Amino acid sequence: MCRHLAYLGPPVTLRSLLYDPPHSLVRQSWAPRDMRGGGTVNVDGFGVGWYPGTGRPGGDDGRGGDPVRYRRAGPIWSDPTLPELAGVTTSGAVLAAVRSATVGMPVQESAAAPFAEGRWLFSHNGVVRGWPDSVVELAGGLPVRDLVTLDAPTDSALLWALVRHRLRAGASLAGAVTTTVREVAAAAPGSRLNLLLTDGVSVVASVWGHALSVRADDGTAWLASEPVDDAPGWREVPDRRWVRAGPDGVHVGELE
Ligand code: GLN
């Protein structure tokens, strides 16, 4: 069920993140190793979001800016454009995902992560049990305009609306992710809520029902559903934790 990854570090090509590693995200789309909770392949869309310039908004080269996205509704491996685009595009902050749609949810480009607003990029790996009825009350806390302009009629799009509502109100990345996971988990027990959120400077992930690994060294951080290679330093994050990686290193906290 979906695989996602985030990279922060020196600018590199999207190709070196998405295609080149032995267990790259592209490979994970057809040969994932750890698909807890069902699904065999991730063919129902993909997306990559990257921050132009250094990848640091307001970075010292003055080129950092809001992220750009490339998304499609089909399998990543058959996209004719992405290989060339990825070969010439460099960034120091990237969030990418491949999607395996939950049964009953539509396959369309706007349902593929990353979801975005301003400097934020967001992805969800998992499912909200009993959606939408189980979370009607939580959704009721959102402005009506957020509900009628949801990116897609999916659980992930609603999670993004809940997270974004908190970010707009001034919450930190970690605050927005942890509060949303706790509330949704209470309202919809049995949900799988691996969220991934970045502002181009830091990245925060939750681990709730699916796999997540982290690798951080020499000013570089990776958070990924599955390690992309056999490099030493990958650590699997235990379930029910949240992780933040950024300029101040890696922090892991409890979700319950
Ligand atoms: N439930 C979400 C969707 O259908 C995410 C699916 C997943 O993690 N496989 O888009």
What CATH number did the domain enclosing 185 receive?
A: 3.60.20.10
Q: List 235's β-bridge partners, or say none.
A: 214
Of the residues 1, 2, 121, 176, which is catalytic?
2
CA 253 to chain centre: 18
Number of structural domains (the chain) is: 1
Distance 3 CA to ligand 1 centre (A): 9
* DSSP code at position 134: G
Mutate-to-test residue for ligand 1 from 98, 99, 134, highest number of ligand atoms within 8 A of CB: 99
Which ligand 1 atom is the nearest neighbour of the CA of 105? 4
The answer to whether the CB of 41 falls within 8 A of the CB of 118 is: no
Cα 4 from Cα 121, distance rounded (Å):
12
pLDDT tens, position by position, 48-66:
999 997 545 545 444 468 9
Model pLDDT, residue 133: 97
**Per-residue model confidence (pLDDT) at position 33:** 83
Instruction: Quote the ipTM score.
Output: 0.96
Mutation pick for ligand 1 pocket among 2, 34, 98, 125 (CB with most ligand atoms within 8 Å): 2
Residues of the chain with pLDDT under 70: 1, 35-39, 54-64
Which amino acid type is present at position 245?
A
Instruction: Report the atom number in ligand 1 closest to the C-alpha of 102.
Output: 4
Residue of the nearest CA to atom 1 in ligand 1? 127
The alpha carbon dihedral of 163, 168, 169, 175 has a sign of positive
Q: How far is the CA of 217 from the centre of ligand 1 (A)?
A: 30
CA–CA separation, 27 and 32 (whole Å): 7
Is residue 182 classed as helix, strand or coil in its secondary structure?
A: helix
Report pTM: 0.94
Give the tens place of pLDDT for each residue, 76-87: 999 999 999 999
For residue 68, the cross-strand partners are 50
Burial of 154 (0-12, 13-18, 19+ CB in 10 A): buried
Distance CA 46, CA 42 (A): 8
How many CB atoms sit inside 10 A of residue 16's CB?
14
What is d(CA 56, CA 62) in angstroms, rounded to the nearest whole number?
A: 9
Structural domain of 38: 3-254
**Distance between CA atoms of residues 161 and 120, nearest Å:** 12
Give the total residue count for the chain. Answer: 256
2 is catalytic: yes
DSSP 88: H
Whole-number pLDDT of residue 37: 63
Q: Whose CA is nearest to atom 3 of ligand 1?
A: 101
* Pocket, ligand 1, Cβ cutoff 6 A: 1-2, 39, 99-102, 105, 111, 124-127, 154-156
